[in-house]
Structure 1
Amino acid sequence: MIELDSDNRESIRKLFDHYPCLRGFVAAVIEGDMGKVFVDSQEKPRMALSVLEFHFLAGDPLHANPQQLEKLLQPGGMVIAPTPAWQQLVTAIYPNPLDIDHREAFQVDKFDVERLRQFCQAVPSGFELRQVRLEEVTQFAADLNPYLGYNFRSHEDLMTRGVALGILHQGRFVSGASSAAVGGGKVEIDIHTHEQFRRRGLARAVAAALILYCLDRGLEPCWDAANEPSSALARQLGFRSTGKYEALNLPDDESATG
């Protein structure tokens, strides 16, 4: 398998056309100078593995080398195998059954901007919704999401190419929305709310604010749900489901591979 440079990934675009989920991540790999890409051929790849928070498989699994693929799949990672043939190949590599995460992909045709604005304005008294400043990124990560900016080169890169919006309460961030990945005019949205502040409309408000931020800049917000509350929130915001799917969890211990 050959690793492609970040400026030489156009050849994999056709393999990822109409990818069924996590479209913001996929666009970031192809056009956003993020993650890694491995292919069977540099000029005319027939299969590809892209790695950016997830392992994305695409193309024809008949052209995959299971031994080489196994070496590139990181222990403890999550694999998106978009077809039954890919799922069969991945599960054949591992001797024990893999844990499965049930996820749901979303897309949108057109947002109701006025409704989104109303969500933003519904923040309760004593809570402040605003954009996170560079000097606050460390606090935002500590309060809500230690992996904030994980896919970016630095906090400065996150603030330059992406964005984080937060809701402050008594000096700490209790809810926030940030760009998990950016590229090709798409932004993958990441949402976190402190457990004791859930079910107050905070996640809805900050997510709506991030969507409006994207729309103002001609960017497409992308949403993928890992659980039912996330799916329900997506529908409130105006996204529509494009289907449920399974993600395969790789074992943590490399010795567990076959």
Structure 2
Amino acid sequence: MHEIPGEQFERVLPLLAGGDWRPVLPEAVCERINPGRVFVDRADAPSSAWIWLACGYFYLCGQPPADAAQSLADQMNADLVQAWAAVGERGLVLAPLSAGWQAVLEGFLAGKHYAPIYRREYRLNPGRFRPSAAPPGFRLRRMDADLLARLGGMTTWRSPADFLAHGLGFCLLDGEEIAAHCASVFASRTRVEIDVHTAEGCRRRGLAHAAASALVKACLEEGREPNWECFWNNEPSNALAGSLGFEKCADHAAFYWEPENKQG
């Protein structure tokens, strides 16, 4: 497996299209909308690929090559773990998008400290979606450069300009304070990955629902598919998804791994 330049990323898209689990994150990287790194077995016609994201996610898709286990161990030791550590990521989510890569990961992680986890995938039922207004005393505003700067930017995007060009988001303001926001942390050409945050002192007041409702509504109006995915045991996120009209599709197996300083 070797790394390829950005202009070749789209060659991996067919490997992402055929599986039961189609997360937005690797698609957004391969469409060169969000930053990331891509590794393949063959640059001209990939049959296997890794998609690396600085936020600690690592997707493996396609049919593993014969040397998959050794190649994965070598690349983790040589570069990938250090690259995550350099941006402050210690806990990693390794997500196999095929049964073959799941078996390779199980072998790679044997004897290491890891935990099996699940990513829960939802799909919106538009017939169940009911938009909600901002609660009294709060003002809804679409994200612009000013709000983005006040939030500290979006680390999953190359720049604020990229987010404003390809992403979308909404803030609920209490006066001039941002009480809650919902944004596309990743986006492909047709789908957006939803992330919601409510300030500590403003929770349990319906703000997350209102902010997420505004984003879902904007997606539907703009012909984009809102994507909701969370960990299977994240009860608040699962409850919010259901209240917005998202319906559970499946739980997808993944692995949580905290590498030691040196991996053998």
TM-score of the superposition, structure 1-length normalised?
A: 0.85
Change (3 A) 1:111 1:182: farther
Shift of 1:32: 3.6
| Alignment pair present for 1:124 and 2:135 | yes
Distance in 2 separating the partners of 1:184 and 1:160:
11
Q: Which has the higher contact order (CA 8 A, sep 6+)?
A: 1
Against the structure 1 CA distance between its residues 96 and 2, is the aligned structure 2 distance closer, same or farther, given a 3 Å change threshold?
A: closer
Structure 1 residues 111 and 158: CA distance shift in structure 2, 3 A: farther
Task: Give the distance between the partners of 1:191 and 1:22, measured in 2 at CA.
Answer: 21
User: What stretches of structure 1 of length at least 5 have no aligned partner?
Assistant: 142-147
| Structure 1 match to 2:241 | 234
Which amino acid in structure 2 is aligned with residue 2 of structure 1? H
Q: CA deviation at 1:208?
A: 0.8
- Residue number in structure 1 paired with 2:5: 5
Deviation of the 1:109 alpha carbon: 4.8
Instruction: Please identify, of 72-81 and 174-183, the stretch whose mean Cα deviation from structure 2 is larger.
Output: 72-81
Identity among equivalent pairs (%): 29
Match of 2:123 in 1: 107
Q: Indicate if the aligned counterparts of 1:22 and 1:224 stay in contact, CA closer than 8 A.
A: no
1:212 aligns with 2:223: no
Aligned residue identity for 2:137: G
Structure 2 distance, partners of 1:171, 1:158, is 22
Could you say what the CA RMSD is over the residues aligned between the two structures, in angstroms?
Answer: 2.2
1:28 positional shift:
0.6
Going from structure 1 to structure 2, the CA distance change for 1:155 and 1:64 (only over 3 Å counts) comes to: farther
TM-score, normalization by structure 2: 0.83
1:83-162 → structure 2 map (5 Å cutoff): 83-94=98-109, 95-112=111-128, 115-116=130-131, 119=132, 121=133, 123-141=134-152, 148-162=153-167
Query: What residue in structure 2 maps to residue 173 of structure 1?
Result: 178
Residue 187 of structure 1, CA deviation: 0.9
Aligned length: 246
User: Residues 134 and 228 of structure 1: is their aligned pair in 2 closer, same or farther, counting only changes over 3 Å?
Assistant: same
Aligned to 1:202: 207
Residue 6 of structure 1: how far off its partner (Å): 2.4
Unaligned residue ranges in structure 2 (runs of 5+): 85-89
Structure 1 consecutive aligned stretches of length 4 or more whose deviation exceeds 6 Å: none
Equivalent residue, structure 1, for 2:188? 183
